[in-house]
Structure 1
Amino acid sequence: MSVKESITTQQDEEFDGLTAAELEAQHPADAAETIEGLDIIDQVKFIKQLPIKDAAESIAEMDEHDQKALISNLNRGLAARIVDEMSPDDATDLLDTLDDDLQKALLSRVPAEERAELKTLLTFDPDTAGGVMNTEVVILDQDLNADQAVSQIRQEVEDKEVPYYAYLTDKKDRLVGVVSLRDLLLARRGVTLKDLVKTQNLITVGYNIDKEEVAHLIAHYNLLALPVVDFGNRLLGVVTVDDVIDIIHEEASEDMQAMVGAGADETTDSPWLYSVRVRLPWLIMNVIFSAMSAWVVHLFEGNITEMAVLAVLMPVVANQAGNTGQQALAVMIRQMVMERFDRKRAWLAVLRELRIGLLNGVIIASLVFCAALIVTGKPLLATVMGAALGMDMLLGAFAGASIPLLLKELGRDPAQASSIFLTTITDSMGFLFLLGLAGLVLLN
């Protein structure tokens, strides 16, 4: 069905300033953004006017919360046809967000073969290779020759989403090799596929491997797709490079939000009560930690009373050390996201951050010493300020680099509320260094 034929009765209706025909002509990713900007009634109207294939492609590009809301408001028959038209990995991602009753209702309307495949995919943990793999792959018998393989690919490729590689199996359906389409086209006439891959170092990943590890492997080996196998080395599917881009983007966003105690999967479209429930425990914890900093200040209340300038200098020490720690924290979390976790290398990175913190601390402390001396004319006060600042910056660098590693060792998300822990350490110890040194040097 052409675009024009798909809108015979509502040709003049506009959505977000665009006609239905103009919206249908957009790329699915652009159409998804436009759909997300409509209210739910117009979203349903628009999707009903689209050909099923276009509707499936557009919905697949939408945000998870918008997908769920839209599918829930479509009639079950149309929703099931859209799910059936999606690629298996996209359909699985969508079904995984739905309530059990709706998920079962849609699956019951999907053809039996596709339903069985989707049910199998739904059994995999969504954070593993099995949960993100695509099953639409070209599988060839290793005993075929190159010409036969090309002929078979021509017959199958229209129904496959992953045309980069063909995957070779033996009589027991075990994966024995991977051949690129380029190699097939350049192969000598009559050469068998098993001869093309007999010296190949086959790289695969188990279905239960964390998706971040899969992303690291694809980036490390510069692959377009990575085969996913079961414990018997039978091919289950592949994770493609476009999936990796989504994984890295998702993980980076989750880490950024988790650092400050927000929900890892939270968006501006998340239900506001859900956001309150996720954030509130960390805010309560932050109050408790802040009370620790206030307690440190209370211990030195007499010092502040005798020398009020200390109250002015306290935020300078805490803020500077906090910023130093945040720099180290950001670098460490990025490293842990982009590369495989190596305990030895990770702790060597902590020592690197200590060296950076030490040198930066000395330089900044020297500058602050000079500034405090000029402003106050008191060498001892300037010395205390510089020393407290340098010490707290060194501590901030160490804490920022080590907190993610400690959380990792404890089996927690390295980014989870790490910023809250870091702020507590740099504030409390910064006040302790400044007020304690002032008590020892200036007020005795």
Structure 2
Amino acid sequence: MSVKEERAPFTGDDNDTPTLAEIEAQHPADAADTIEGLDIIDQVKFIKQLPIKDAAKSIAEMEDLDQQELITNLNRGLAARILEQMRPDDATDLLDGLQDDLQKSLLSRIDAEDRAELKTLLTFDPDTAGGVMNTEVVILDQDLNADQAVSKIREEVEDKEIPYYAYLTDKKDRLVGVVSLRDILLAKRGVILKELVKTQNLVTVGYNIDKEEVAHLIAHYNLLALPVVDFGNRLLGVVTVDDVIDIIHEEASEDMQAMVGAGADETTDSPWLYSVRMRLPWLIINVIFSAISAWVVHLFEGNITQMAVLAVLMPVVANQAGNTGQQALAVMIRQLAMERFDRKRAWLAVLRELRIGLLNGLIISSLVFCAAFAVTGKLGLALVMCGALGVDMVLGAFAGASIPLLLKELGRDPAQASSIFLTTITDSMGFFFLLGLAGLVLLT
């Protein structure tokens, strides 16, 4: 770890504008937080004064929209020099979010070798392994011996960001094995590198594989980095464990927002009109679905008129079933996000949630039966409340677990507005069960 990485977080007075020395003394991640808290004019002022490498590290730690705004407001020459000092994957992510004319302008000012690398990375889908991979890797010929390998690593490692492993290739640049630097250093003198990987089960991933799948593979095999290859098994780069942390955090945030119909990539810094455009369609759909619940209530308007207490009890049934469904929904979406999709196992999980909902429904509805009977003294009303609540809770558990799977089967994001669909089901059916049972038991 470098000296800069060991620096303590800035703890000065939040009401004072930080000095250049205070920002330079911080870890890049803390410096990024400090810079993000300034207005754009001060951000530009501080970035201009920071050493290029420090500026690059700090900007790489900033949120996407803040990065883009800052780079847009810097002069093109400085912005290009900063991009040259960033890791290729970080620079690519930043460039990908810029306007085409600005992107081309910055690329034209970057060193030819770096420009070619960045242009290649920009061709990959940002949601795939190719879009998140890092190309700064140590590549060794498999026919080198351990001593030669150590010498070559010493020559190259200063320019590499992630020297966890060395990647062995043959004469056609095909990946044949992965060796940890520790194993190379401990190898006996004269040992040929390919001898170290003779029995290795090589784990790789294609450049077009979804980044969530890449994260699952790294977690499954407990790797620090996963090599990315093309269709000819030629090494393109690696996805590292720090990238996986970012992927998991990003996907979790997207799922949470998508569940309620917000834009998956929205932040508090997103343009407000963009947020309106993302949310409005789902709000319109929610209005339509809410009308279904209102229509169900309208069907039993006469029952409510004859027994006004039903109007008081309706929210209890709907809310309890909705909460039950949200619990199942959250567990199922988490499971789909953490593991590969296995249809049989997923639907078994739905049955598990159904059993949980059944038992919880029996317990809660029994408690509600006792409470309703104690308060009203009406056995029939207590039974109706008990039955409607129990059935709706079971339905809520089943719906919460199955909605993400149905969306997955249809090729949609399992989290996409699933909460809206669930609420419609639990509300409308809860009202139907309560008011329908009341009509059959109490008002006939």
> Which TM bucket (shorter chain)?
over 0.9
Match for 1:392: what amino acid?
D
Stretches (4+) displaced over 4 A: none
Residue 98 of structure 2 is matched in structure 1 by 98
The match for 2:10 is: none
Gaps of 5+ in 2: 5-13
Name the SS of the counterpart of 2:179 in structure 1.
strand
> How far apart are residue 17 of structure 1 and its match?
3.0
Q: Which amino acid aligns with 1:398?
A: F
Does the CA contact (< 8 Å) of 1:328 and 1:397 recur in 2? yes
Superposed counterparts of 1:98-177, under 5 Å: 98-177=98-177
Which residue does the alignment assign to 1:438?
438
State whether structure 2 residue 89 is matched by structure 1 residue 89. yes
Deviation string 1:203-243 (CA, Å, 9 cap, x unpaired) is 00000000000000000000000000000000000000000
> Quick check: 1:260 aligned with 2:260?
yes
Following superposition, the deviation at residue 387 of structure 1 comes to 0.4
CA deviations on 1:338-370 (whole Å, 9 max, x unpaired) are 111111100000000000000000000100000
One-letter amino acid of the structure 2 residue matched with residue 109 of structure 1: R
User: What is the CA–CA distance in structure 2 between the aligned matches of 1:217 and 1:245, rounded to whole Å?
Assistant: 13
Q: Deviations over 1:146-177 (max 9, x none)?
A: 11111110110010011000000000000000
1:380-391 correspondence to structure 2 within 5 Å: 380-391=380-391
Paired residues of 1:142 and 1:170 also in contact (CA < 8 A): yes
Looking at structure 2, the residues matched to 285 and 350 of structure 1 have their Cα atoms a distance apart, in angstroms, of 26
Aligned to 1:224: 224
Query: Partner letter of residue 215 of structure 1?
Result: A
Q: 1:169 to 1:15 in 2, by over 3 A?
A: farther
SS at 2:239 equivalent:
strand
Tell me the distance in 2 between the aligned counterparts of 1:399 and 1:330: 12
TM-score (norm 2): 0.96
Question: What's the secondary structure of 2:191's corresponding residue?
Answer: coil
Residue of structure 1 equivalent to 2:367: 367
Amino acid aligned to 1:292: I
1:234-267 Cα offsets, whole Å, 9 max, x none, are 0000000000000000000000000001110000
Map of 1:234 onto structure 2: 234
Superposition pairs for residues 420-431 of structure 1, below 5 Å?
420-431=420-431
Aligned partner of 2:102: which letter?
L
* AA aligned opposite 2:163: P
Identity %: 88
- TM-score under structure 1 normalisation? 0.96
Q: Secondary structure at the match of 1:140?
A: strand
Q: 1:398 to 1:438 in 2, by over 3 A?
A: same
Query: After superposition, where does 1:231-380 map in structure 2 within 5 Å?
Result: 231-380=231-380
Separation in structure 2 between the aligned mates of residue 382 and residue 207 of structure 1, nearest angstrom: 61
Cα deviation for residue 15 of structure 1 reads 9.5
Q: CA deviation at 1:75?
A: 0.4
**Cα distance in structure 2, aligned partners of 1:186 and 1:43:** 47
When residues 15 and 187 of structure 1 are mapped into structure 2, their CA distance, relative to the original with a 3 A threshold, is: farther
Q: 1:137–1:162: 8 Å Cα contact kept in structure 2?
A: yes
Q: Tell me: CA distance 1:430–1:15, structure 2 relative to 1, closer, same or farther (3 Å).
A: closer
What SS class does the counterpart of residue 261 from structure 1 fall into?
coil
Q: CA RMSD in A?
A: 1.2
State how far apart, in whole Å, the 2-side matches of 1:184 and 1:172 are: 22
Q: 1:280: Cα distance to partner? A: 0.7
The question of 1:29 aligning with 2:29 is answered yes
Letter in 2 for 1:61: E
1:276-332 alpha-carbon deviations (Å, 9 max, x no partner): 111111111111110110000000000000000000000000000000000000000
Query: What residue is the counterpart of 1:10 in the other structure?
Result: none
Q: Distance in 2 between matches of 1:288 and 1:226?
A: 46
AA at the equivalent of 1:388 = A
Offset, 1:197: 0.3
Compute the displacement of 1:18 (Å). Answer: 1.9
Code of the residue aligned with 1:267 in structure 2: it is T
- SS at the partner of 1:172? coil
3-state SS of paired residue (1:18): coil
Residue 47 (1) aligns with residue 47 (2): yes
Q: Which amino acid aligns with 1:406?
A: L
Pick closer, same or farther for the CA change 1:24–1:324 going to 2, 3 Å: same
Task: Tell me, yes or no, if the aligned pair for 1:16 and 1:38 is still in contact at 8 Å.
Answer: no
Q: Is 165-174 or 182-191 further displaced after alignment?
A: 182-191
Task: Tell me, in whole angstroms, the C-alpha distance in 2 between the residues paired with 1:403 and 1:150.
Answer: 54
C-alpha contact 1:15 1:38 (8 A) present in aligned 2: no
**Where do 5+ consecutive residues of structure 1 fail to align?**
4-13
CA contact (8 A) 1:322 1:422 kept: yes
Tell me whether 18-27 or 420-429 shows the greater mean CA deviation.
18-27
Q: Secondary structure at the match of 1:415?
A: coil
**What SS is found at the alignment partner of 1:237?**
strand
Deviation at 1:392, TM superposition (A): 0.3
Amino acid at match of 2:434: L
Aligned amino acid, residue 55 of structure 1: A
CA contact (8 A) 1:15 1:42 kept: no
Give 1:30's aligned amino acid.
D
Which residue in the other structure is 2:19 paired with? 19
2:436 is aligned with what amino acid? G
How far apart in 2 are the matches of 1:50 and 1:421? 51
